[in-house]
């Protein structure tokens, strides 16, 4: 079935699968840091979000640049800058989930994990694929 796809779609599918695997690891690591800080230690959820962001950004750049999007586009000094930009979008989205869900919605600090796992990674895949590593 994969052999019937044109090379560009096959490359996109491979990148998506690799992104899902590495992204799941990076996301799990970030969510783990958030959960330890915000849920386990009961520190402020935004501090947990910031620490999770720092860990995920560093790990994510290495994994995505060397594996998820390998062979796609050129790596320049600007690639790392763009990746940091996308990581800041990720941080902002996760901060939004934390603020919205634990604030006006009045839910506990574990609830922002749901959009952190599903919405934020979808946005970052598109940005990484077409802007950072494109």
Q: Could you list the pLDDT tens digit for every one of the 134 residues in the chain?
A: 667 878 888 888 888 899 899 988 988 898 899 999 999 999 999 899 899 989 988 998 899 888 888 877 777 889 889 989 998 998 899 899 999 999 999 999 899 989 988 899 889 889 988 999 88
102-21-55-134 Cα dihedral, nearest 10 degrees: -100
3-state secondary structure of 110: coil
Q: Residue 133: what pLDDT?
A: 85
Q: Residue 2: what pLDDT?
A: 66
77-82-84-85 Cα dihedral, nearest 10 degrees: 150
- The DSSP code for 38 is I
Q: Residue 113: what pLDDT?
A: 87
Q: Residue 1: what pLDDT?
A: 61
């Amino acid at each position: 079935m994969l052999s019937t796809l044109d090379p560009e779609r096959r490359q996109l599918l491979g990148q998506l699968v690799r992104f899902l695997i590495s992204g799941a690891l990076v996301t799990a690591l970030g969510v783990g840091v958030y959960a330890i800080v915000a849920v386990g230690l009961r520190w402020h959820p935004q501090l947990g979000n910031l620490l999770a962001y720092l860990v995920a950004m560093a790990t994510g750049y290495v994994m995505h640049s060397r594996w998820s999007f390998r062979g796609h586009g050129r790596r320049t000094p600007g690639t790392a800058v763009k990746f940091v930009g996308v990581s800041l979008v990720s941080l902002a989205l996760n901060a939004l989930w934390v603020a919205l869900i634990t604030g006006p919605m009045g839910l506990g600090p574990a609830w922002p994990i749901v959009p952190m796992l599903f919405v934020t990674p979808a946005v970052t895949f598109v940005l990484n694929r077409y802007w950072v590593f494109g």
